[in-house]
Chain A
Amino acid sequence: MKTEMTKLVRFAQLGCNGVAHEHAAAHRQTGNTELKVVCDLDGVKAKAFAEKHGVPEWTTNSSDVFACDDVDAVDIVTSDHTHARLSITAAQAGKHVLVEKPLATSVEDADAVIAAAAENGVTLMCAQCMRWDSRCRALTEKVKAGAIGRPVFVRVHGGCPPFWQPGNWPEAASGGKPDFLLFREGVHWMDWITALLGEFPESIHVVGHPGQEGVPLWEYFAVNMRFPGGALGLGESNRIVQPPGYPMPGTGVYIVGTEGTLALENTTDLAVSLHTADGISFPGSHVYAVPMDSKFAAEIRHFADCVVSGAEPDVSPKHSRRVVQALLAAQESFRCGEPVEVKYA
């Protein structure tokens, strides 16, 4: 089903926590979307959220959203374990689906979501905001343009507050699983690295550290990957409590190619540095700043464009499914302490 729209794609947003605020704010910047209604199980929270972001309506019942003729698409910003169920229901109601990462928490659920979207002719995209981070886009563009030759090593690292504390950690969202962070944060860099390289890791090995006492969720994971083309990758999910003054939030990216190196420094100014055979030396004019705009607005705008045009989003459902599969393999490696080989359907 292709939605007939003249100007704006009309959205309902499910979920009012955390990054939901970023999404709601972004809808005011896209130029091609309109947030009509927000939904949360907590009515007080939904009402306050709607008032804060100028959303006309709010509800505590997702069925109201799915039945609403004034809504073309849903923006699902709820807990990970609800993504698949809500996405399927939305698709069956004929709503286009923008769902926060991960697409699902199992491959079976991911397949069910993709099937529901296909059967109902709606556009489905997993919200991978790192794809629309202007610095990361600059890196991708440089790599795709051949600035460093063929990438042979990629490292993505960083940390992201708020940090957990004993008695203040996401018990409900995590289910108390020690490797929650591996999936939650890993979905960012797993999607980005695999999109950059155009392939998925065939072997994954994980080391981790529990971090502080009193928090049952492990706070650090380093995922060591080998890709079919021979490239090596390292993704780090890090909630180790970092001291005041440490630059946050910060995503650092380091890419070595056969003809040069690209680095996005997270511990200095937020800039991309390019090192190539041109002989540009460090430090110097090769460090160039990338203008920052809202990655969330860019992401939602792209999705809305795809809804209108019928084009497949840059973050394809098949890609997001494989991201889920790779992260499940990472969790398996964490549990068994050995590398895990992955074969993708």
Chain B
Amino acid sequence: MRERLAIAWIGCVYGHQRDYGGTLAAHARAQLVAIAERPGALGAHVVGARALAAERGVPFYEDYHEMLEKHPIAVASVALPPEHNVPVLVDLARRGIHIISEKPTAPSAAELAPLGAVLRETGVRFTFAAPATVFSGAFRPAIEAVERGKIGEARTGYFQYLQTGGPEYTLPPERCKEVKMAEFGMFAPYGVLAFRKLMRSNIVKVFARFTSAFYPHYRENGLEDLALASVYFANGAVGTLVVGRTTTKGMPQADVRMQIFGSSGALNINNGLGYAINQYRDGTHAKIPFGSSTTTLFIDDFVNAIFEKRDPVVTYDDALQTAAFLDASLASAHSGCVESLN
């Protein structure tokens, strides 16, 4: 009989556990054994996590330490507010527990950095939940095409991730007082990953504009629901990133678009029109439809990485670059200047 990984969910914010945690729990080589919160979690979060445990028929612990004393956990799916995330991740990694984290993983790159040292020491596998622009049916073949040199060296990139259907799923007003970033922190990671995989170069500088275009409770708290960022890559390429949560109804859940012009071809990804990739080369135009198994592929890769003792496709380095990008973008939005990524 094949080994099954004992899974725990820690924290249940943002619906992360229903999607990623649920897919992990349903994996043939995994089994959900308990759900826990962090000490000092908000009452509403505790109530929500307890309800999920009851729904799943597994024990609930208000303090995840108690859970770890009673259950030998192999993998934790962690969905905590970013300001509380890293200490828990570091603690788990020191105990040899593999981790899937919700994004943003940390309030800043500096606060995330201690996790990297522990991961290197322990060999624990880590990933974070932003698979849409890596594992989706649109982006997988796009990444493959780029890796095979189909468009040559990327020169310019445009990435758009506009979640639709707001104000549903906006941050509640009380949470707006605690965070320094709203929708940019939620959706820019998709862009950073897409750029890293498709432009094949790191972002080194950014100029970002944040605005509150849609939601009064964001505006009152100086938070952004729409952002436009110009990015510079290490290889001289340039790009633009547009992310936000709009009120538009009747579109796909997220209107994701990406165009890359390379030295010998172009890629156009567009989920708004029902097909995903338009690849133009040598007079041919290939359309590749979207798949629907993004989360499954993401979880499969992570579970396989654990058993195969390799890095997952979405790595700690991706998380660190994402955090550095968020830092620099926030700084730029406030300073009105181009900012370098540390």
Which of B12-20, B28-36, B260-268 is near enough to bind chain A? B260-268
A152-B226, A232-B209 given; A240·B155 CB < 8 A: yes
Tell me, yes or no, whether B255 is within 8 Å of chain A by CB. Answer: yes
Which residues from A are CB-within-8-Å of B249?
A: 260, 275-279
Question: How many inter-chain contacts with C-beta < 8 Å in the A-B complex?
Answer: 159
Tell me, yes or no, whether B272 is within 8 Å of chain A by CB. Answer: yes
Which residues from B are CB-within-8-Å of A291?
A: none
Tell me, yes or no, whether A243 is within 8 Å of chain B by CB. Answer: yes
Q: Which of A185-222 contact B (CB under 8 A)?
A: 203, 205-209, 211-212, 220, 222
Which of A14-22, A48-56, A64-72, A280-288 is near enough to bind chain B? A280-288
* B213 in complex: contacting residue of A230, A245, A260, CB < 8 Å: A230
Q: Flag if B242 contacts A243 (CB, 8 Å).
A: no
Q: Flag if B252 contacts A282 (CB, 8 Å).
A: yes
Which residues from A are CB-within-8-Å of B155?
A: 209, 211, 220, 240
A308 to chain B, nearest CB (A): 43
Please, which residue of chain B has its CB at the minimum distance from the CB of A256? Answer: B246
Q: Flag if A152 contacts B261 (CB, 8 Å).
A: no
Tell me, yes or no, whether B23 is within 8 Å of chain A by CB. Answer: no
Tell me, yes or no, whether A259 is within 8 Å of chain B by CB. Answer: yes
Q: Flag if B336 contacts A339 (CB, 8 Å).
A: yes
Which residues from B are CB-within-8-Å of A260?
A: 247-249
Q: Flag if B248 contacts A256 (CB, 8 Å).
A: yes
Q: Flag if B246 contacts A234 (CB, 8 Å).
A: no
A214 to chain B, nearest CB (A): 13
Q: Flag if A205 contacts B246 (CB, 8 Å).
A: no
Q: List 22 A-B contacts (CB under 8 A).
A: A148-B248, A152-B214, A152-B226, A153-B242, A222-B230, A230-B213, A231-B211, A242-B261, A242-B266, A245-B281, A245-B282, A246-B266, A254-B257, A256-B244, A258-B247, A276-B249, A277-B247, A282-B272, A283-B273, A286-B250, A338-B337, A338-B338
What residues of chain A have their CB less than 8 Å away from a CB belonging to chain B? 148, 152-153, 155, 157, 203, 205-209, 211-212, 220, 222, 224, 226, 230-232, 234, 236, 238, 240, 242-246, 254, 256, 258-261, 263, 265, 267-268, 273, 275-283, 286, 337-339
3 smallest beta-carbon distances between A and B, as pairs: A152-B213, A207-B238, A244-B283
